[in-house]
Chain A
Amino acid sequence: MTIEPLLQVDHLQMRFKNPKNRRSIVHAVDDVSFSVAPGEIVGVVGESGSGKSTIGRCILGLENPSDGDIHFDGSDLGAHSKLRNRRDLASRLQVVFQDPYSSLNPFRTIGQTLAEPLQVRSRVSDAQADVRARDMLEAVGLPREAADRYPSQFSGGQRQRIGIARALIMEPKLVICDEAVSALDLSTQAQILNLLSKLAAERGLAYIFIAHDLDVVRYISDRTLVLYRGRVMEQGPSADVYSRPLHPYTAALHAAAPVTDPVAQRERRAARAKIVRPAPDAGPTTGHKGCPFAARCAFAQEVCTTDRPADTPVGERAVACHMYDATSGHTRQGAGMPGAELAIT
Chain B
Amino acid sequence: MTRARMTQASPTAAPMPQAGTTQGDKKTRARRSDNALARLLRRPGAVVALAFLVLLTFAVIFADVVAPINPLTQDLARARELPSAAHWLGTDGFGRDIYSRLIHGGGATLGGAALAAIVAMAIGIPLGMLGGYFRGWVDTVVSRFADVFQALPTIVILMAVIGAFGNNNTVAMVALGVAMCEGFIRLARAMTLQVRRELYVDAASVAGITPASILVRHVFPNIRGPLLVQLSITAGAALLIQAGLGFLGLGTPPPAPSWGGMIDEASDLIYLHPWLLVPTGVIMILSILSFNVLGDALASDRPGGMLAGVRLPWMKPLPIAEQHVANSETLPADPKAVVSVRDLSVSFTDRSSTFAVVQNVSFDVMPGEALGIVGESGCGKSVTAKALLGLIAPGGKITGGQVVINGADVVGLKNRELRKVRGTTIALVSQEPMVALDPTFTIGAQLRESIAHHTGRKGRELNDRALELLRLVGMPDPAQAAASYTFQVSGGMAQRAAIALALTGEPDVLVADEPTTALDVTVQAEILDLLRRLREELGLAVIIVTHDLGVIADLCDRAVVMYAGQVIEQGSVDTLLTTPTHPYTRALLASMPSNAIPGLPLDAIPGAVPAPRDWPEGCRFAPRCAFATDACRSAPVPIVVQHGGLSRCIRVDEVLAASQVRTKERNIA
Return the contact of A279 from the options B34, B209, B476, B521 (Cβ within 8 A). B476
Cβ contacts under 8 Å, B302 to chain A: 106-107, 152
In the bound complex, do residue A143 and residue B17 qualify as a contact, i.e. CB atoms below 8 Å apart?
Answer: yes
B-contact 0/1 string along A124-167, CB 8 Å cutoff: 00000000000000000111010011111111011000010010
B206 at the interface (CB under 8 A from A): yes
Question: Across the two chains, which residue of chain A brings its CB closest to B18?
Answer: A143
B-contact 0/1 string along A84-97, CB 8 Å cutoff: 00111111011101
When chains A and B are docked, how far (Å) is the Cα of A296 from the Cα of B304? 50
When chains A and B are docked, how far (Å) is the Cα of A117 from the Cα of B200? 12
In the bound complex, do residue A258 and residue B553 qualify as a contact, i.e. CB atoms below 8 Å apart?
Answer: yes
Name B585-614 residues within 8 Å CB distance of A. Answer: 587-589, 591-596, 601-606, 608-609
B167 at the interface (CB under 8 A from A): no
When chains A and B are docked, how far (Å) is the Cα of A253 from the Cα of B522? 6
In the bound complex, do residue A153 and residue B594 qualify as a contact, i.e. CB atoms below 8 Å apart?
Answer: no
In the bound complex, do residue B31 and residue A120 qualify as a contact, i.e. CB atoms below 8 Å apart?
Answer: no
Stretch at the interface among B72-80, B182-190, B388-396, B571-579: B571-579
Return the contact of A99 from the options B20, B199, B492 (Cβ within 8 A). B199
Stretch at the interface among A9-17, A190-198, A316-324: A190-198
Q: A186-B592, A191-B604 are in contact. Are A261 and B577 (CB under 8 A)?
A: yes
In the bound complex, do residue B592 and residue A106 qualify as a contact, i.e. CB atoms below 8 Å apart?
Answer: no
When chains A and B are docked, how far (Å) is the Cα of A300 from the Cα of B539? 36
Name B184-211 residues within 8 Å CB distance of A. Answer: 198-200, 202-210
Question: Across the two chains, which residue of chain A brings its CB closest to B552?
Answer: A260
A180 CB to closest chain B CB (Å) equals 12
Cβ contacts under 8 Å, A262 to chain B: 553-554, 573-574, 577-578
Question: Across the two chains, which residue of chain A brings its CB closest to B603?
Answer: A190
In the bound complex, do residue B593 and residue A219 qualify as a contact, i.e. CB atoms below 8 Å apart?
Answer: yes
In the bound complex, do residue B203 and residue A153 qualify as a contact, i.e. CB atoms below 8 Å apart?
Answer: no
In the bound complex, do residue A106 and residue B303 qualify as a contact, i.e. CB atoms below 8 Å apart?
Answer: yes
B273 at the interface (CB under 8 A from A): no
A21 at the interface (CB under 8 A from B): no
In the bound complex, do residue B553 and residue A265 qualify as a contact, i.e. CB atoms below 8 Å apart?
Answer: yes
Q: Identify which of B31, B550, B551 gathers the most chain A CB atoms within 10 Å of its CB.
A: B550
Question: Across the two chains, which residue of chain A brings its CB closest to B475?
Answer: A280
B235 at the interface (CB under 8 A from A): no
A216 at the interface (CB under 8 A from B): yes
A307 at the interface (CB under 8 A from B): no
Cβ contacts under 8 Å, B376 to chain A: 185-187
In the bound complex, do residue B21 and residue A257 qualify as a contact, i.e. CB atoms below 8 Å apart?
Answer: no
B153 at the interface (CB under 8 A from A): no
In the bound complex, do residue A121 and residue B208 qualify as a contact, i.e. CB atoms below 8 Å apart?
Answer: yes
By DSSP majority rule, is chain A's interface helix, strand, loop, or mixed?
Answer: helix
Stretch at the interface among B173-181, B215-223, B322-330: B215-223
Cβ contacts under 8 Å, B34 to chain A: 150
Cβ contacts under 8 Å, A93 to chain B: 206
Question: Across the two chains, which residue of chain B brings its CB closest to A60?
Answer: B206
When chains A and B are docked, how far (Å) is the Cα of A104 from the Cα of B207? 13
In the bound complex, do residue B207 and residue A117 qualify as a contact, i.e. CB atoms below 8 Å apart?
Answer: yes
Q: A260-B595, A261-B553 are in contact. Are A90 and B221 (CB under 8 A)?
A: no
B27 at the interface (CB under 8 A from A): yes
Question: Across the two chains, which residue of chain B brings its CB closest to A163?
Answer: B203
Return the contact of A102 from the options B200, B207, B217 (Cβ within 8 A). B200
A289 at the interface (CB under 8 A from B): no
Question: Across the two chains, which residue of chain B brings its CB closest to A194?
Answer: B601
Cβ contacts under 8 Å, B304 to chain A: 149-153
Cβ contacts under 8 Å, B31 to chain A: 109, 148-149
Return the contact of A280 from the options B18, B474, B549, B554 (Cβ within 8 A). B474
Return the contact of B303 from the options A94, A150, A263 (Cβ within 8 A). A150
When chains A and B are docked, how far (Å) is the Cα of A154 from the Cα of B22? 9
A52 at the interface (CB under 8 A from B): no
B526 at the interface (CB under 8 A from A): yes
When chains A and B are docked, how far (Å) is the Cα of A58 from the Cα of B217? 25
In the bound complex, do residue A47 and residue B208 qualify as a contact, i.e. CB atoms below 8 Å apart?
Answer: no
Q: Identify which of B528, B550, B594 gathers the most chain A CB atoms within 10 Å of its CB.
A: B594
B10 at the interface (CB under 8 A from A): no
In the bound complex, do residue A97 and residue B203 qualify as a contact, i.e. CB atoms below 8 Å apart?
Answer: yes
A105 at the interface (CB under 8 A from B): yes
A215 at the interface (CB under 8 A from B): yes
When chains A and B are docked, how far (Å) is the Cα of A94 from the Cα of B203? 8
When chains A and B are docked, how far (Å) is the Cα of A108 from the Cα of B218? 8
Question: Across the two chains, which residue of chain A brings its CB closest to B29?
Answer: A148
A35 at the interface (CB under 8 A from B): no
Question: Across the two chains, which residue of chain B brings its CB closest to A120?
Answer: B209
When chains A and B are docked, how far (Å) is the Cα of A152 from the Cα of B376? 20
Return the contact of A272 from the options B213, B303, B525 (Cβ within 8 A). B525
A116 at the interface (CB under 8 A from B): yes
In the bound complex, do residue A116 and residue B204 qualify as a contact, i.e. CB atoms below 8 Å apart?
Answer: yes
A3 at the interface (CB under 8 A from B): no
Q: A47-B522, A102-B199 are in contact. Are A116 and B217 (CB under 8 A)?
A: yes
Question: Across the two chains, which residue of chain B brings its CB closest to A145?
Answer: B28
Return the contact of A47 from the options B202, B520, B577, B609 (Cβ within 8 A). B520
In the bound complex, do residue A155 and residue B604 qualify as a contact, i.e. CB atoms below 8 Å apart?
Answer: no
Name A252-285 residues within 8 Å CB distance of B. Answer: 252-253, 255-263, 265, 269, 272, 276, 278-282
A45 CB to closest chain B CB (Å) equals 10
A189 at the interface (CB under 8 A from B): yes
B484 at the interface (CB under 8 A from A): no
Cβ contacts under 8 Å, B606 to chain A: 191
Name B5-50 residues within 8 Å CB distance of A. Answer: 17-21, 23-24, 27-28, 31, 34
In the bound complex, do residue A258 and residue B27 qualify as a contact, i.e. CB atoms below 8 Å apart?
Answer: no
A258 CB to closest chain B CB (Å) equals 3
Question: Across the two chains, which residue of chain B brings its CB closest to A185?
Answer: B376
In the bound complex, do residue A187 and residue B604 qualify as a contact, i.e. CB atoms below 8 Å apart?
Answer: yes
Name B516-547 residues within 8 Å CB distance of A. Answer: 520-526, 528-529, 547
Q: Identify which of B217, B492, B591, B595 gathers the most chain A CB atoms within 10 Å of its CB.
A: B591
B305 at the interface (CB under 8 A from A): yes
Cβ contacts under 8 Å, A191 to chain B: 604-606
B594 CB to closest chain A CB (Å) equals 4
A170 at the interface (CB under 8 A from B): yes
Cβ contacts under 8 Å, A99 to chain B: 199
A27 at the interface (CB under 8 A from B): no
A103 at the interface (CB under 8 A from B): yes
A1 at the interface (CB under 8 A from B): no
B377 at the interface (CB under 8 A from A): yes
A156 CB to closest chain B CB (Å) equals 8
When chains A and B are docked, how far (Å) is the Cα of A126 from the Cα of B31? 18
A66 at the interface (CB under 8 A from B): no
Cβ contacts under 8 Å, B604 to chain A: 187, 190-191, 193-194
In the bound complex, do residue A155 and residue B554 qualify as a contact, i.e. CB atoms below 8 Å apart?
Answer: no
In the bound complex, do residue A62 and residue B202 qualify as a contact, i.e. CB atoms below 8 Å apart?
Answer: yes
In the bound complex, do residue A105 and residue B591 qualify as a contact, i.e. CB atoms below 8 Å apart?
Answer: no
In the bound complex, do residue A94 and residue B591 qualify as a contact, i.e. CB atoms below 8 Å apart?
Answer: no
In the bound complex, do residue A215 and residue B592 qualify as a contact, i.e. CB atoms below 8 Å apart?
Answer: yes
B617 at the interface (CB under 8 A from A): no
Cβ contacts under 8 Å, B305 to chain A: 106, 150, 152
Cβ contacts under 8 Å, A187 to chain B: 376, 587-588, 591, 604-605, 608-609
Name A49-69 residues within 8 Å CB distance of B. Answer: 60-62
A255 CB to closest chain B CB (Å) equals 8
Cβ contacts under 8 Å, B596 to chain A: 219
A48 at the interface (CB under 8 A from B): yes
A157 CB to closest chain B CB (Å) equals 6
Sort A-B residue pairs by CB-CB distance and give the 5 closest, nearest first. Answer: A258-B550, A90-B208, A150-B304, A107-B221, A190-B604
Given A120-B213, A154-B21, A261-B578, 10 other A-B residues pairs in contact with their CB atoms under 8 A = A61-B205, A108-B218, A155-B19, A190-B593, A190-B604, A194-B604, A219-B596, A260-B549, A260-B595, A265-B554
- Interface pairs (24), CB distance under 8 Å: A47-B522, A61-B205, A87-B210, A88-B208, A90-B208, A104-B200, A107-B302, A108-B217, A148-B27, A154-B21, A155-B21, A166-B203, A186-B547, A186-B588, A187-B609, A191-B605, A219-B593, A219-B594, A257-B594, A258-B525, A259-B550, A260-B550, A260-B552, A265-B550
